[in-house]
Amino acid sequence: MALLEVTDLRTSFHTEDGVVTAVDGVSFSIEKGQTLGIVGESGCGKSVTCLTIMGLNPKRNTVSSGTAMWKGKNLIGAKPKELREIRGDEMSMIFQDPMTSLNPVHSIGKQLIEAVQLHRDVTTRVARARALELLKAVGIPRAENRIDDYPHQFSGGMRQRVMIAMALVNDPDLLIADEPTTALDVTTQAQILNLMKRLQQEFGSAILMITHDLGVIAETADDVLVMYAAKVVEKANVDDLFSRPQHPYTWGLMGSLPRLDADVERLTQIPGQPPSLLRPPSGCRFHPRCPYVMDVCKSKVPELEPAQHDPKHEQACFLDPQTKDREAAKLLAATMAEAG
Amino acid sequence: MFRYLVRRTLWAIVLFLVIMFVTFVIFFMAPNNPARAVCGGDQARPECLVLATEKLGLDKPIYIQYSRFIGRLLPVSRPVSFQGGVHLRQPHFKTPSLGTAFATSEELNQTIIKAAPVTASLVIGGAVLWMLIGLTVGIFSALKPRSLLDRGAMVFVLIGVSAHPVWIGLILSYFFGVKWDITPIANYSYFFGAPADSGLPGGPWQWFYHMILPWCTFALLFSALYVRMIRANVMETLNEDFVRTARAKGAPERRVLISHVLRNALLPVVTMLGMDIGVALGGAIFTEGIFQLPGLGRTAILAINNQDLATVQAVVVFATVAILIFNLVVDLLYAWIDPRIRLT
């Protein structure tokens, strides 16, 4: 049985301008100890998917449906108290911006101890020892001296390490990482990703890695979900996705990766803007930006279907398999040529 | 920390001297003659005027009067005379004195000691009341924006900031004091028993009973301001990332609110509170006027009517010192509750 089984998840926000459906029929599952990556542009609904699973959306104007089965319990519509017991214990989350995600008026030790004591009935001394253990595990130098320091005394990378320590302090089964490296500089990004991979082996947690960076996906994920405008457009094993991408949007994402070795004036980009979720385009939501657009794309909504070469590779596009394979091969050849 | 204190204290002394001088200059620019007021206004006899002018030191230039005033305030006396290279009297310690009132020759130290507790009980009690209202209403309307309570609170804020305390005081005094006879209409009652000659009732209960309406009047404007500020701060802090982190840790809402939201949202409120109390201690003129409380504000008003510079100056001294001290206390308190601030 999968650790987390999400089926037909939908989340809508009621705003003054109308109803925005930020997550529209998303399904996926995560196995124990595995890493699932969700990739997509800003505003495609990847963060909202996680917040919905964690029950962290603002209650006032949010409606969610579908199921998210966690150890036999449906998290969607669960009582706040039940969700609270799971959050930070069995399932924890780290956020994009480590500069603002820690409370500035409490020492990091106090915040870690709080995380322990919210779920474990232990003395402060025991919780503090656990906190120190985690700070050492995430590589904070001289952790015993720094445990009583405040967040502003740490750099961005160190704060993200603290966030990871706080998320792992109760040994969770699932760690949701919402763009954990986006706000960090490149060398720190690599350190944090390596740290997460090492800790995953040590703690055996599954990871749900949200990012807009295909590099991060290639580095960390086992399976990948590509999201566009609140919907999943492609779902595959990471190797298969990179060797035989099946959706024009995924091609666009891969084509727009900057390369150090290619001497180009401009980076390639996907033309146009991501659509407004207030009034999404008819048919396939990618059709206004798609270079392969056909008449059927404008009227009919493509469903996720198994690809021809591998039934585990799912995609939502009307193009014929031959064209897809040809384009994927072209993209791969171009990548290889650039790589020299 | 120590260096910070020394620097702040030196700066406070400079500020103090400047404020005193400005008060002096303003009083001298005004076209009036305090000696005339002492001798009974228009019917003043010339001999009286001469005597009073000399006694009050009004014939001396302004800087002499100013330095005499500062000299009285210093806790050390200067050597009196200097003959043949020998000090006749060595400098010695003395009690700082505010001098005597022009009109009544009363010791001004005594005037202030009598009036300050009245103003202090008005201000401190008022501050407790406005913080109670500000915190409860502010926090609840931030948690449930656009609710009935929130909208009601906004109406209250609008009234509070628009209505003048004199009008509020009179209305409260008319309904609660005159019409329904629930509270006293005016007057003060001393906490530790009234002075024998005042003929006023005394004791804690009477004090409380007499202060209810002044507190309400005084607190209304401030509670309106504080409701609005606390509401805005709490709402802003609720959207902070670290609040989401606290929820993601599994903290119950109550704990999120108290330990994570309020601690951050109330930091600026501490600053405001300290400064407002400091300023108000200089005399809540309107409230004291309406309810005839013999506090600093009323003392100052009476003194201005009598052209009594010495008394006005005494109140200004007290108010200035109160504000300077409260600002310093706020800074120290702030460094203590907000770890990001270091005093250097």
Query: Average model confidence (pLDDT) for chain A?
Result: 88
Which stretch of A10-14, A86-90, A274-278, B253-257 has the lowest confidence by average pLDDT? A274-278
Please write the tens of the pLDDT for every residue from B156-168: 888 888 888 888 8
B4 to chain A, closest Cα gap in Å: 22
Residues A84, B252: C-beta atoms closer than 8 Å: yes
From A234's Cα to the closest Cα of chain B, the distance in A is: 29
> What share of chain B has pLDDT > 70, as a percent?
89
pLDDT-derived band of residue B237, with 50, 70 and 90 as boundaries? very high
pLDDT tens string B45-63: 777 778 777 777 777 777 8
**pLDDT higher than threshold 90 for residue B317:** no
Cα Rg, chain B, nearest whole Å: 25
Average pLDDT (B62-85) is 73
> Per-residue pLDDT for A34 more than 70?
yes
The nearest CA of chain B is from the CA of A334 a distance in Å of 41
Contacts of B339 in chain A (CB under 8 A): 104-105, 107, 150, 152
Test B248 with A56 for CB contact under 8 angstroms. Answer: yes
Question: Where is pLDDT greater, at A288 or B170?
Answer: A288
Is B230's pLDDT higher than 70?
Answer: yes
Of A90-99, A153-162, B99-108, minimum mean pLDDT range? B99-108
pLDDT exceeds cutoff 60 at A340: no
Nearest to A115 among B241, B249, B264 (CB): B249
Strand partners, B93: B76
Residue B342: pLDDT band with limits 50, 70, 90 = confident
pLDDT given at position B229: 92
Residues of chain B contacting A93 with CB distance shorter than 8 Å: 248
Nearest to A95 among B245, B253, B340 (CB): B245
Q: Check whether B95 has a pLDDT greater than 80.
A: no
CA B233/CA B267 separation, integer angstroms:
9
B266: distance to nearest CA of chain A, Å? 12
Query: What pLDDT does residue B182 have?
Result: 77
Res B202: pLDDT: 67
Calculate mean pLDDT across residues A15-28.
Answer: 91
Look at A152 and B337 and tell me if their CB atoms are within 8 Å: no
Identify all chain A residues contacting B241, using CB atoms and an 8 Å cutoff. 95, 97, 100-101
Residues of chain A above pLDDT 70, percent: 96
Residue A188 has pLDDT above 90, yes or no: no
Rank A183-197, A199-213, B187-201 by mean pLDDT and report only the highest: A199-213
Shortest alpha-carbon distance between residue A100 and chain B (Å): 6
3-state secondary structure of B48: helix
pLDDT confidence tier of residue A129, bands split at 50, 70 and 90: very high
pLDDT of the residue at B293: 82
The H-or-E segment that residue A51 falls in is: helix A46-54
Least confident window among A272-276, A282-286, B132-136: A272-276
Write A148-155 long-range contacts (CB < 8 A, 24+). Answer: A148/A107, A148/A109, A149/A107, A149/A108, A150/A104, A150/A105, A150/A106, A150/A107, A150/A108, A150/B339, A150/B340, A151/A102, A151/A103, A151/A104, A151/A108, A152/A104, A152/B339, A152/B340, A154/A108
- For residues A73 and B44, the model is more confident at A73
Residue B260: list chain A partners with CB under 8 A. Answer: 103
**Is residue A20 within 8 Å of A230, Cβ to Cβ?**
no
DSSP state of A153: G
Average pLDDT for A173-187: 88
B77, amino acid identity: S
Q: Mutate one of B249, B266, B334, B337 to test the A interface: name it (highest A CB count within 10 A).
A: B249
Contact indicator for A235, A305 with CB cutoff of 8 Å: no
Q: Residue B338 — pLDDT band, cuts 50, 70, 90?
A: confident
In chain A, residues with a C-beta closer than 8 Å to the C-beta of B342 are none
- B64: pLDDT strictly greater than 90: no
The band of A37, judged by pLDDT with boundaries at 50, 70 and 90, is very high
B249:A87 CB<8 A: yes
Mean pLDDT is lowest, of A1-5, B248-252, B278-282, for: B278-282
**CA B12, CA B321: separation in Å to the nearest integer?**
9
pLDDT-derived band of residue A257, with 50, 70 and 90 as boundaries?
confident
pLDDT at A260 over 70: no
Option in B241, B244, B250 nearest A84 (CB): B250
| Interface size, chain A vs chain B, as Cβ–Cβ contacts under 8 Å | 74
Q: How far is A150 from chain B (nearest CA, A)?
A: 7
> pLDDT tens across B97-154, in order?
777 777 777 788 888 888 888 888 888 888 999 999 999 999 999 988 888 888 988 8
The lowest-confidence range among A112-126, A326-340, B29-43 is: B29-43
Which of B48, B102, B45, B99 is closest to B69 using CA atoms? B99
**Is pLDDT above 80 for A259?**
no
Place of tokens 């004291």: B288
pLDDT at B96 over 80: no
B248–A115: do the CB atoms touch at under 8 Å?
no
Contacts of A102 in chain B (CB under 8 A): 242, 245
* Contact check, Cβ <8 Å, B247/A87: yes
C-beta atoms of A54 and B248 within 8 A: yes
Whether A126 shows a pLDDT value over 90: the answer reads yes
The pLDDT tens digits for B197-206 are 666 666 777 7
Of residues B253 and A331, the one with the higher pLDDT is B253
pLDDT band for position A321 (50/70/90)?
confident
Taking the C-alpha atoms of residue A41 and residue A253, their distance in angstroms, rounded to an integer, is: 9
* Cross-chain residue pair A105–B337, CB shorter than 8 Å: yes
Interchain pair A152, B339: CB under 8 A: yes
pLDDT at B46: 78
Contact: A100, B248; criterion CB under 8 Å: no
- For A202-236, letters b (16+ CB in 10 Å) and e give eeebbbbbbbbbbebbebbbbbbbbbbbbbbbbbb
Chain A segment 237-296 residues within 8 A of B by beta carbon are none
Whether the CB of B264 is below 8 Å from some CB of chain A: the reply is: yes
Cα dihedral A305→A307→A308→A312 (10° resolution): -100
Q: Is the pLDDT of residue A223 over 70?
A: yes
Lowest mean pLDDT among A119-133, A176-190, A291-305, B30-44: B30-44
Minimal C-alpha gap between B274 and chain A (Å) = 20
Helices (H) and strands (E) in chain A, counts: 12, 12
